[in-house]
Structure 1
């Protein structure tokens, strides 16, 4: 009986030790340097790390994992699981003394998790020595480069005897609407969610055989739940092969993702909606001519709003390369449910509907709602009135509530937040539900996600989803960078120095749009602003207080790439946005 992923470590190493578990494209290119690790070698390295941790009496303690993209993170993560140590994936420092935001987050996570050890690559551990003043006292936190742990240490590894309800790792939430919180994911949660992913994404024995065990290509960051629980751990769960490379290499040249899919022909690969938009932006004829995407069966799209327009354009653009509409796979999940909650039906195109205008949180929108599929096996999804805690009729918009064995244990050392989020009672239902904070509706058993409860913009008594305003703005003018726009509301009495000039002195909530554009478009700011205002007015019947155009890469985002609208709002009100000023050209 499999009690945890640690049991699978032994099974895979025994049954197919020479099979490639992971390959890593060091430069992001298929014809560049490639590192591979077999299941036998993976077991040896993971056990060596585990034994090192066990010998220091760290079972039950927290270990912060700080690694650049690569295979060493996977060995360390599985080593923590095999030692009964609670892994805490984090973003490694880049060694820049001015990178205050990253250092502040890292220090906060180390302190909040009460980490006793930091595991990292050699370069990361060296970098940490240079920023030691930003970390807890060295005496409190041991630092080790896991490459320096000898293979021979594996011989002293001992089975940890892990019960299903023991915490496997802390997944710190992205913090798109609040400060990051550590989600306690148990070994039982991991096994259950891997079962859900396997079933929903059609990772059957036949599919595995058809693809000769090549099941994933991924550039997603492994310190985030989508990149870790999906491509990395589902690969390990199934005993198949995944091809990985750095998120930075994807962002630098999006073609690398599609080229890797064409080369290795995996069953499954995906990312947030912005990734598909980036590929569309770089879809040159010479790229299309060299691609074969016909083997791509599941192109998952999640972690941020899924755009119907993106799905259509991606299908039309890449159909000549063999991409099929049926491969489109919108899905929905969150760290508090380990990862996956709902997913599409394999070999079936996603369902598109006009968003309803009913329910306590229905928005004013003409946008199409994209189905995120059906709940995984033994997962219950309900749409609730967030104030009355009563289930809403089918088709009405409300808060998405979730129940099932994948729902995590709660937030680390935060009993109040755990009770409020993980212990909700729904009238007429037994058991407790997870309140996701997301808005959506159900139709014929499928979930349609429409926005975030806390991000909702209410102007003159009408609800507007910021995602809809952002999409309208980005489609209004090509200068706006896809996935780099933030819409939010401010009180009519507040006035930020974010730029743009708006109607001061008006009472009530007013909408503000902040968008990144290229600096070479600075001379067109007035025209771009007018076009965006007009588009939002026509599409949503909404007068925008300010349209603020800022430099690329300056809108706050979470570690997983989600727009931080609350942080953007704060920067607007504080007058700290990196505004592109046309007057600076003269």
Structure 2
């Protein structure tokens, strides 16, 4: 069965193609509300309270025009322009300036992001941009990176906060018409986080992103006269880019941005920014809510008035029921209500947003029989014994698009209660992967076995690679197909095992656990790598006790034996740029002997497909 919900329009509509692009919406905002605040950056490196720099819609439009003029003179029209600037207003100006110049923006990050140089090099090599937009503070690092990596094309580097733009912006407004930009044109390449494979550039058109923003505005009931967007998410990530840049531009909504590091250093900063802006709408991965509940304590909670926050989206990674409960209980006295928290599902291939829980309802948590779920059937249970059920958080219903659950092998839709691959169809679905027609056809051109093939493409579906189930009309995401662990014919979801492991012993770091499978003597075997606490002075002395606790917990909770357990040093379990545990990368490191003092490669085996 399918789930569908047609949304009422979330913003003013116009038939003109010019306005149905991000460039057109920016021009309109500058024309109708020139003095309203558009973007604010809170810089916590400059002041402990966060120095605020504000751009009005007219000031932003003026700088974007100047940036577009520089890019046009550099011959960037029709080419790719990579934004490798630090988080801030320069990033916003560079991104929108590239669009106004008729270029394809490539939102990335500077080389100083720890542990992600390979992903940056891979994306730049794939996109082959004509220009790199950065900040003066990053020019030297960019030059060293490009020289060391021998990137093709010798792209020109332009500082968005440099003298060139300053001189152009100081002059009169550039009244020249922007490059011809149509809704069907590619606006930007969204490089995926690389959780299960090398980063790929998703071609997101202006029509895709405008449609997705309007779907989200309707789903979360967001309006410019009562809401603010507040975000610390990285702007190169799909959720950060759409919620902090695209949604404000299309919806003409004030956006307050800060740096991810500011949040990680002191998570209370995020909560204070929410409290300062009545009607705040924000989004974060599951780990961020758990991080706040654990780290923001005592006097830091005093005075936090969160009762006027409108929406707190939880997405981007598996949503854990205990995290939802822990966060709500931790900040209930500060005004957080269950209805504020909106579990959601999305992916870069659908621009970002697909479904969310209904407005005004608390997150819905359902317990399913664990054994049956492992066999592909979701049967709700009540009052079951611990270890016999799995709790899943509902991601609600789609808005303005369709969702099916499909048997990935037969390509036939499945009824409610059966686990299968999630397929999506709607105007927000991107048109394919950059320079990858074969993979694009496989992922974006899926057709149901029971439907006739349509050469026009309007019957095609996006294969998400995610497993899920529809229950009572709501979507529950169970995991990634590529991450599924199959032992003795039973499916195990790694995030469930990881949740069990991190609760098995106090010395295991929360959200720093990876579970994956290896083929040993033609059979799947479970391997777990878990980082230990930074407080351990002698990990070797604790290893056996932690390993026993983990093995006992996994057997009791999942009926699966642990083939090998690695107690790893802090910071060694790889993560994607969006903060997810990169299980495939962890598996490769394991087989490469990264934790050689713990890994018997002959015993572990080196078989198994990625």
Q: TM-score, normalised by structure 2?
A: 0.88
For the structure 1 residues 415 and 365, does the alpha-carbon distance in structure 2 shift closer, same or farther, using more than 3 Å as the test?
farther
Are positions 1:391 and 2:413 aligned together? yes
Q: Equivalent of 2:438, from 404, 416, 432?
A: 416
TM-fit CA distance, 1:477: 2.2
Are positions 1:288 and 2:310 aligned together? no
For residue 526 of structure 2, what is the aligned residue in structure 1?
511
* SS, match of residue 161 in structure 2: helix
* SS, match of residue 241 in structure 2: helix
Q: Equivalent of 1:21, from 19, 35, 38?
A: 38
The whole-number CA distance in structure 1 between the counterparts of 2:262 and 2:98 is: 28
Unmatched tracts of structure 1, length 5 or more: 494-506, 582-586
The whole-number CA distance in structure 1 between the counterparts of 2:93 and 2:40 is: 13
The whole-number CA distance in structure 1 between the counterparts of 2:172 and 2:413 is: 54
Q: Equivalent of 2:233, from 220, 223, 232?
A: 220
TM-fit CA distance, 1:165: 1.3
* SS, match of residue 221 in structure 1: coil
* SS, match of residue 503 in structure 2: helix
For residue 311 of structure 1, what is the aligned residue in structure 2?
324
For residue 193 of structure 1, what is the aligned residue in structure 2?
212
Q: Equivalent of 1:82, from 90, 100, 122?
A: 100
Q: TM-score, normalised by structure 1?
A: 0.91
The whole-number CA distance in structure 1 between the counterparts of 2:598 and 2:43 is: 36
Deviates more, 1:422-431 or 1:166-175: 422-431
The whole-number CA distance in structure 2 between the counterparts of 1:578 and 1:68 is: 36
Q: Give the number of aligned pairs.
A: 557
TM-fit CA distance, 1:51: 1.3
Q: Equivalent of 1:105, from 111, 119, 131?
A: 119
* SS, match of residue 410 in structure 1: coil
* SS, match of residue 243 in structure 1: strand
For residue 114 of structure 1, what is the aligned residue in structure 2?
128
For the structure 1 residues 580 and 460, does the alpha-carbon distance in structure 2 shift closer, same or farther, using more than 3 Å as the test?
closer
Q: Equivalent of 1:147, from 154, 161, 171?
A: 161
* SS, match of residue 230 in structure 2: strand
Contact 2:341 2:362 in 1 (8 A): yes
The whole-number CA distance in structure 1 between the counterparts of 2:222 and 2:69 is: 33
For the structure 1 residues 579 and 483, does the alpha-carbon distance in structure 2 shift closer, same or farther, using more than 3 Å as the test?
farther
For residue 3 of structure 1, what is the aligned residue in structure 2?
20
Are positions 1:242 and 2:264 aligned together? no
Contact 2:529 2:567 in 1 (8 A): yes
Are positions 1:167 and 2:186 aligned together? yes
The whole-number CA distance in structure 1 between the counterparts of 2:109 and 2:518 is: 32
Deviates more, 1:356-365 or 1:335-344: 356-365
* SS, match of residue 554 in structure 1: coil
Q: CA RMSD in A?
A: 2.1
The whole-number CA distance in structure 2 between the counterparts of 1:241 and 1:393 is: 42
Q: Equivalent of 1:375, from 398, 411, 424?
A: 398
Are positions 1:470 and 2:483 aligned together? no
* SS, match of residue 363 in structure 2: coil
For the structure 1 residues 174 and 490, does the alpha-carbon distance in structure 2 shift closer, same or farther, using more than 3 Å as the test?
same
For residue 11 of structure 2, what is the aligned residue in structure 1?
none
TM-fit CA distance, 1:487: 0.3
State how 1:543-562 maps to structure 2 within 5 Å.
543-562=561-580
Contact 1:48 1:157 in 2 (8 A): no
Which structure has more RCO (C-alpha within 8 Å, separation ≥ 6)? 2
Unmatched tracts of structure 2, length 5 or more: 1-15, 379-386, 453-458, 600-610
The whole-number CA distance in structure 2 between the counterparts of 1:157 and 1:580 is: 64
The whole-number CA distance in structure 2 between the counterparts of 1:556 and 1:154 is: 47
Q: Equivalent of 2:144, from 130, 134, 151?
A: 130
